């Protein structure tokens, strides 16, 4: 058996007790954050959790108490190693009181991740220097290979989740579908002009327009968009590695920051960008990182080319460089900083206030609706602290702004806060997000944090390079107090790599999987998509709700629900997916119900939703009836089966059967109604179980359009398990056209 040195009795017991407490704190925090916290709504920063069962807590705490003593047991010197682990990992104790007192606070949930990053920094700084000497000798060729593999893994991941999201009806038509539709028009449309290549969908983006148009000429398909998006986002991994190596970081440290780029919750989330998918702003990821690589290599020509190129990606690049001008001013480069700031401000104002309104025939910059509380033009927003001070300061101090900043900073907090001077460049971009009127856009899930996150990555790498040059950090010296080796800059560098990886990994698993988690909840509907495509001729225009429209974008002409149906059109509607406003959807359904040319083709249940398909046929075309909507007299209906109790006085519901064996649900309006309904079916008798929602007539004929005496008949498999409970629920904002015109 391995021998261990012992310590004095009181001291030994104190170290063992401290080790048990630290282990229990860390284990309980992990249990709370990653297993028993149900969900974090990253849009509204709301936390859903459930109480942790006592037996689970007891087992977790018991195992946690053994972790540090167990780790020290396998070393040569038990108590010295245990003491070292205690000194390194004691920050894990700090978040526990906050989690116990405020378990539903978003800010408190970030504390364990920050504490974990600090603890792992201290642990890395406590390792013997000879361990790092071996890592310093990692061959550069090996680093290039590993960075390339990381790039391939990132591209595979980003591409795969976009394909899965598309097959699950998760992605909206906006943004990626809207951009794709414009790229198709630029690639194959007849009435194009050079100005069409300058701006699309309310943004100035000549470079993405030209690149995507050329690619669509080669392969017009959704996978082209997904592949480009994956390549743009995945480029952060090798370019961060290249930046680190250009800044003369060791290969192992450069690989650590490349991994941090992949795990960054902001960039990682942009493959889905909530459910909007591809956005041209992602072209700025390689452009800006490439600029910093050239800067580290003192390649002024490359810097100039990428600087100018960024202005052709999106107009917000001017805001980024205005922030870079602030950094120059902080560096006392007053003349260059002032010139750059004024030039960027002039460029943005000209593009947003003159060029864009003329290109889109709008009265003002298309993005100004985001700032409606502060002004209607960029100049009014800039002057809002004086013109509308109450609205300005109320917007500035919205708590969602602080949550957004904390979420952006958390993954790279240690390396960025070492020397945050270059991070000053993010202030104008940050103001552009935080001054928006809606709190719902102040999140890391959507594209508003892309440029800031790229900048923070560059700041983190360049600050780490300062350590490698022997320039220690006062911040790291402070958080590493009690670790004897922490005084050396080279040791701080390796501790920083450990801490940064812990922060980015913890941030990704806590706040970086929002869109992917929501996507995984949805069922795969690939077979439904194929069935829909078989129903739609290639020459037919498809009018569809947002999530369905994208699947016909590269196959048929498409339109949204604002289009007027014409003969030959196919209409595909999702009745309950939440992607379309209830008012817009029900207005369109009312128009279809009043249009004799709209013939129902079928209805498909789809993962808790209902898809309905119609075809606009020429006048006089005969159409068959629906087998589940049949005429029935009051006497026939009364004799069809027992009456089921429900609260809606306008409907009567009975449980019938076909052939005495197949249970059926039968719903009959007692009088004409001016609304449509869903039928909620669940277990009766107070039992818990799955609840099913069925639209009246499977969504093909609204209840207000049903003829007198018609009965909706639906299968009732729930009857085989016992009594059922039925509720007739009014669909929001539903009603015939006549009631809407009053």
* Cα–Cα nearest to 318, from 199, 425, 239: 425
Residue 8 is predicted with a pLDDT of 53
Residue 595 is predicted with a pLDDT of 92
Question: Is the backbone of residue 454 left (phi > 0), alpha (psi -120 to 50) or beta?
Answer: alpha
Residue 708 is predicted with a pLDDT of 86
Model confidence over 347-386: pLDDT tens digits? 999 998 888 888 776 667 778 888 888 888 888 888 889 9
**CA 424, CA 326: separation in Å to the nearest integer?**
7
% of residues, the chain, pLDDT over 70: 95
More confident residue, 3 or 307: 307
H helices of 365-426, where?
A: 378-382, 384-387, 389-396, 399-409, 413-418
Model confidence over 242-289: pLDDT tens digits? 999 999 999 999 999 999 999 999 999 999 998 999 999 999 999 999
Give the residues across from 571 on adjacent strands.
543, 614
The helix-helix angle for 106-126 and 9-31 (nearest 10°) equals 130
Give the residues across from 214 on adjacent strands.
none
Is residue 722 scored above 90 in pLDDT?
no
* Cα–Cα nearest to 453, from 612, 662, 240, 615: 240
Report whether 686 contacts 648 (CB < 8 A): no
Report whether 667 contacts 653 (CB < 8 A): yes
| Mean pLDDT confidence for 635-655 | 91
Is residue 306 scored above 70 in pLDDT?
yes
Q: How many CB atoms lie within 10 A of CB 14?
A: 14
Helix (H, G, I), strand (E, B) or coil at 385: helix
Mean residue pLDDT across the chain: 89
Residue 193 is predicted with a pLDDT of 83
**Strand 651-658 and strand 643-644: pairing?**
antiparallel
**CA 652, CA 737: separation in Å to the nearest integer?**
25
Tokens of 66: 């053994």
Please measure the distance between the N-terminal and C-terminal CA atoms of the chain and give it in whole angstroms: 90
Location of structure tokens 């100035």: 204
Residue 2 is predicted with a pLDDT of 44
More confident residue, 38 or 86: 86
More confident residue, 148 or 195: 148
Helix (H, G, I), strand (E, B) or coil at 405: helix
Model confidence over 540-556: pLDDT tens digits? 999 999 999 999 999 99
Model confidence over 16-71: pLDDT tens digits? 888 889 889 998 888 888 766 667 888 989 887 777 777 888 888 888 888 888 88
Residue 240 is predicted with a pLDDT of 97
**For 91-95, 291-295, 521-525, 592-596, which range has the lowest pLDDT when averaged over its residues?**
521-525
Residue 486 is predicted with a pLDDT of 67
Distances (CA, A) of 81 to 27, 89, 385: 20, 12, 57
Band (pLDDT 50/70/90 cuts) for residue 4 is very low
Q: Annotate 537-566 with b (16+ C-beta within 10 A) or e (fewer).
A: eeebbbbbbbbbbbbbbbebebbbbeeebe
**For 124-138, 262-276, 293-307, 636-650, which range has the lowest pLDDT when averaged over its residues?**
124-138
Band (pLDDT 50/70/90 cuts) for residue 537 is very high
| Mean pLDDT confidence for 124-134 | 74
Is residue 213 scored above 50 in pLDDT?
yes
Is residue 572 scored above 50 in pLDDT?
yes
| Mean pLDDT confidence for 75-83 | 79
Band (pLDDT 50/70/90 cuts) for residue 3 is very low
């Amino acid at each position: 058996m391995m021998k261990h040195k012992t310590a004095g009795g009181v001291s030994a017991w104190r170290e063992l007790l401290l080790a048990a407490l630290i282990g229990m704190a860390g284990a309980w925090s992990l249990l709370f954050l990653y297993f028993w916290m149900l969900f974090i709504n990253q849009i509204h920063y709301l936390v859903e959790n459930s109480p942790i069962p006592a037996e689970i807590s007891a087992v977790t705490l018991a195992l946690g108490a053994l972790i540090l003593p167990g780790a020290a047991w396998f070393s040569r010197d038990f108590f010295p190693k245990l003491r070292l682990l205690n000194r390194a990992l004691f920050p894990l104790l700090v978040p526990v009181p906050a989690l116990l007192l405020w378990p539903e606070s978003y800010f408190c949930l970030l504390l364990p991740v920050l504490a974990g990053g600090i603890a792992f920094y201290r642990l890395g700084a406590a390792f013997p220097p000879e361990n790092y000497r071996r890592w310093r000798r990692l061959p550069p060729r090996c680093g290039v290979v590993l960075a390339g593999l990381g790039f391939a893994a990132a591209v595979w991941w980003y591409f795969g989740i976009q394909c899965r999201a598309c097959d699950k009806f998760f992605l909206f038509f906006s943004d990626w579908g809207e951009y794709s539709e414009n790229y198709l028009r630029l690639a194959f449309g007849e009435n194009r002009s050079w100005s069409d290549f300058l701006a699309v969908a309310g943004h100035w983006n000549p470079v993405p327009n030209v690149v995507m148009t050329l690619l669509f000429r080669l392969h017009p398909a959704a996978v082209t968009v997904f592949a480009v998006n994956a390549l743009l986002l995945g480029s952060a991994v090798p370019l961060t590695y290249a930046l680190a190596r250009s800044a003369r970081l060791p290969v192992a440290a450069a690989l650590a920051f490349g991994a941090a780029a992949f795990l960054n919750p902001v960039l990682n989330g942009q493959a889905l960008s909530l459910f909007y998918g591809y956005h041209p702003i992602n072209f700025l990821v390689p452009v800006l990182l490439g600029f910093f690589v050239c800067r580290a290599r003192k390649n002024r020509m490359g810097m100039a080319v990428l600087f100018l190129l960024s202005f052709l990606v999106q107009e917000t690049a001017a805001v980024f460089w205005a922030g870079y001008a602030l950094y120059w001013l902080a560096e006392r480069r007053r003349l260059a900083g002032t010139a750059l700031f004024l030039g960027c401000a002039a460029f943005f104002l000209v593009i947003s206030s003159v060029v864009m309104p003329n290109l889109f025939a709008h009265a003002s910059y298309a993005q100004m609706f985001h700032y409606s509380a502060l002004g209607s033009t960029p100049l009014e927003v800039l002057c809002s602290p004086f013109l509308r001070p109450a609205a300005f300061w109320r917007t500035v101090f919205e708590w969602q702004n602080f949550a957004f900043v904390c979420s952006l900073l958390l993954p790279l907090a240690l390396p960025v806060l070492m020397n945050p001077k270059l991070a000053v460049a993010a202030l104008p971009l940050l103001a552009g997000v935080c001054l928006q009127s809606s709190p719902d856009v102040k999140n890391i899930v959507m594209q508003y944090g892309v440029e800031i996150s790229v900048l923070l990555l560059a700041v983190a790498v360049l600050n780490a390079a300062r350590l490698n040059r022997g320039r220690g950090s006062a911040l790291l010296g402070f958080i590493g107090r009690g670790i004897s080796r922490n005084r050396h800059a080279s040791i701080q560098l390796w501790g920083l790599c450990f801490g940064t990886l812990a922060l980015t990994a913890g941030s990704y698993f806590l706040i970086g999987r929002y869109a992917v988690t929501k996507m995984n909840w949805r069922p795969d509907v690939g077979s439904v998509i194929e069935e829909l495509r078989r129903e739609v001729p290639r020459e037919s225009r498809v009018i569809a709700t947002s999530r369905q429209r994208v699947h016909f974008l590269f196959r048929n002409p498409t339109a949204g629900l604002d289009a007027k149906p014409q003969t030959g059109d196919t209409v595909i509607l999702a009745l309950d997916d939440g992607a379309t406003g209830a008012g817009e959807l029900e207005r369109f359904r009312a128009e279809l119900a009043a249009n004799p040319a709209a013939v129902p083709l079928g209805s498909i249940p789809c993962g808790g939703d209902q898809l309905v398909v119609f075809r606009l046929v020429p006048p006089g075309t005969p159409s068959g009836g629906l087998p589940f909507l049949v005429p029935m007299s009051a006497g026939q209906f009364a004799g069809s089966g027992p009456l089921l109790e429900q609260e809606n006085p306008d409907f009567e519901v009975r449980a019938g059967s076909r052939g005495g064996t197949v249970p059926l649900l039968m719903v009959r309006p007692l009088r004409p109604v001016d609304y449509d309904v869903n039928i909620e079916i669940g277990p009766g008798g107070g039992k818990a179980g799955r609840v099913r929602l069925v639209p009246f007539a499977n969504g093909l004929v609204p209840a207000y359009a049903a003829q007198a005496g018609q009965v909706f008949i639906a299968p009732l498999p729930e009857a085989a398990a016992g009594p059922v409970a039925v509720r007739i629920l009014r669909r929001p904002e539903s009603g015939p056209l006549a009631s809407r015109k009053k």
